[in-house]
Amino acid sequence: MKTFSTISGNHLYIDFPSFDPKSPFAKREVRQAVARGFDLDAIIASVLYGQGIRYNGVGVDSSTYDKSLANYTYDPAEARKLLAKAEFPNGFDTPCYNLTTQREPYIKEVGEAIYAYLQTIGVRCQVRGLEYSAWLDMIRRKPNHAPDGIISTMSGQGIPSDPANVWVLHLHEYVPESGLGAFSLTKDDKATKLVKQLQGTMAPAKRAGLIKEIGQYKHDMVLGGIPTYQPVVTLAWRDKFAFTPWPFPGYWRGFQEVSAVP
C-alpha cells in the first residue's frame, strides 16, 4: 500500500452580506466579532482530526503567502465587546447556511461547530443545511439575490495558490452581467480598486507586494469572508497500481496518471 498526503488547492471560509447596509455584517465590528468568535484550532484538531491547515487569505503553499499576517485569534470576551460597540449588546439572530457535501471530509460538521461557537458570543444562528446544488444557487450573485446571513463556502486558488482570480469573484464588488464579483458579498471601493490593479499587474515583485497589501487590508477590514482552512488530502493505492497524483488545478484527485503495474 502506498499513500500520498498534501495540502489541497481548495480554500474554505465563511462569508456574510457586508455589502448590505441593512445587515449587521455591514459593521466592521460585527465582522471582527465573528472572526474572534470561534476556536478554529480546536475545530481542526477535534472535528478534522488535524487534517486541515489554517491560512490567512492566501494559500500557505503560495510564494506570496504572508507569514507576518497573523490568523484571527479566538477571544469570546473581545467578540462580545465588539458586538456591544456595534450596538448589539444582546447579540442578534441570523440565518447560518451550512454547506453539506462529500467534496471535503467533515465540512458539514466544521460548519456546525463554527455556528455553535457563535451562539456563545450572541450571534444566534438559525442553521440551515445546503446540499451542493442549493449552495451553488445561493452563492451565485444576481440582482436582489444573495445570502441574508452567514454562509460556509469555499473557492480554489489552484497551484501555486494565486488569489487574484478568486478575489475577482468574492472580494471585488458585484457588477451585474459582467462576471465581476460573481460570488461577492463585499462592496468596498478600496478593495475593488486594489483587485482591479492586481489583475493588471504582471511584474512578479510588484504583484507579490500588491497581494500582500490586499491581504492585509482584507484581513483588517474582515472583507471577502473569514478564511478558515485548507484541507489536507490523503490518497492511498495498492502496490499493483502505478499512480501519480495530478496537481492541476490543485485538488490532486484527478486520475490522469494511473495504470496497472506489469
Q: In sequence order, what DSSP letters do the residues of the chain get, joined into one string?
A: -EEEEEE-SEEEEEE--TT-TTSGGGSHHHHHHHHTSS-HHHHHHHTSTT-EEE-SSS-TTSTT--TTSPPPPP-HHHHHHHHHHTT-TT-EEEEEEEEE-TTSTTHHHHHHHHHHHHHTTTEEEEEEEEEHHHHHHHHS-BTTBS-SSEEEEEEE-TTTT--HHHHHHHTSPP-TTTSTTTT-----HHHHHHHHHHHT---HHHHHHHHHHHHHHHHHHT-S-EE-EEEEEEEEE-TTEEE--B-TTS---B-SSEEE--
pLDDT for residue 185 is more than 70: yes
- Tell me the average pLDDT across 174-195: 96
Predicted confidence band at 249 (pLDDT cuts at 50, 70, 90)? low
* Tens-digit pLDDT profile for residues 5-50: 888 888 999 999 999 999 999 999 999 999 999 999 999 999 999 9
pLDDT of residue 59: 87
The proportion of the chain whose per-residue pLDDT surpasses 70, expressed as a percent, equals 95
Average pLDDT, the chain: 93
- With beta carbons less than 8 A apart as the criterion, state whether 72 and 36 touch: yes
Length of the chain in terms of residues written: 262
197 versus 233: which is more confidently predicted? 197
- Dihedral sign (CA 209, 210, 215, 220): positive
SS3 content of the chain, % helix, strand, coil (to 5): 30, 25, 45
Q: What is the pLDDT of residue 103?
A: 84
pLDDT in tens, 169-179: 999 999 999 99
